[in-house]
Structure 1
Amino acid sequence: MADIEQAKATFAKFDADGDGRVTPDEFKSAMAAMGDHLVTGPMAEAVIKAKDSDGDGLMSFDEFWKSVQG
């Protein structure tokens, strides 16, 4: 996914409240909405933590964009 517009649209699916950051709960809910009901709270926290470069416990768009760049 190298297209920034596509990345923004995908990120928006996860950012339920539109604040520009994805919480583990938002991630888990978005995955369930996309049909993956097996993502648990701890799994969502691990995914966010892996992408969270500033250590705030959330995933910003910039962090998401860096992760999809490779």
Structure 2
Amino acid sequence: MSDQYEAVFARYDTDGDGRLTVDEVTAAIAGMFPAAEVNDLSGLIRALFVQYDTNRDGLLSAAEFVPLAQNLPELGS
């Protein structure tokens, strides 16, 4: 994983466990769109997890996060 993505992942991994929870991803996305209601993001977050949580454990590992950040450049900045 590149240093850029590692730093971004670490910023979003607020509990430092090496995995992103639904709440952590929701907070990251909500931070990109501060005017959006978090409840309005639930469908988007579910869709992101369906697509990027490849091992279906309900969490995003760093390896699963990179393709998401690559496809959503605002998340990686």
TM-score range, shorter chain: 0.7 to 0.9
RMSD over aligned Cα, in angstroms?
2.1
Name the CA shift for 1:49/1:14 in 2 (closer, same or farther; >3 Å). farther
TM-score of the two chains, using structure 1 as the length reference? 0.73
Q: Extract unaligned runs of 5+ from structure 1.
A: none
Q: Is the 8 A contact 1:25 1:44 kept in 2?
A: no
Q: How far apart are residue 31 of structure 1 and its match? A: 2.2
Q: Extract unaligned runs of 5+ from structure 2.
A: 72-77
Name the CA shift for 1:46/1:29 in 2 (closer, same or farther; >3 Å). same
Tell me what 1:27 maps to.
Answer: 25
Moved segments of 4+, more than 3 Å: none
Q: How far apart are residue 44 of structure 1 and its match? A: 1.4
Percent identical across equivalent pairs?
37
Q: 1:36 aligns with which of 33, 36, 61?
A: 33
TM-score of the two chains, using structure 2 as the length reference? 0.68
